Amino acid sequence: MFTIEPFDQWRERHVFEQVETTCFECDGTGECECCGRECLECDGTGLGGVEDLPEFTVQERYFEEVVGMLSQVCAFTNRHDFLEEVGHFIKHHGRPGDMHIPGIH
């Protein structure tokens, strides 16, 4: 078995981009639904601002990085069974959206 960097340590090493959200007033169209004029809330852009990446997306990136690393190491060493290693990781950490991470669940 490999020692895998815990999610919280991995997360501290990364800087995640922010994502643009759609305007809640016009649903991203830039126009008022009732009169068809430019939305006053977003000035016609359709954007509602920026927010942090959803937690599920961050967990998904961690999962993909770990599985990719395990795949490479198992292929390189030819001494470890990839499915056994990934199964062990999933058993102890879970999958994105259902990860067993201290402080989150």
pLDDT in tens, 59-92: 889 999 999 998 888 888 877 788 888 888 888 7
| Amino acid of residue 12 | E
Sequence letter at residue 66: V
For the range 9-16, what are the long-range contacts, defined as Cβ-Cβ under 8 Å and sequence gap of 24 or more? 10/62, 10/65, 11/58, 11/62, 14/61, 16/52, 16/53, 16/58
The pLDDT, as a whole number, for residue 103 is 45
> Using one digit for the tens of pLDDT, what is the confidence trace for 21-59?
888 788 888 888 888 888 888 888 888 777 788 888 888
User: pLDDT band for position 1 (50/70/90)?
Assistant: low
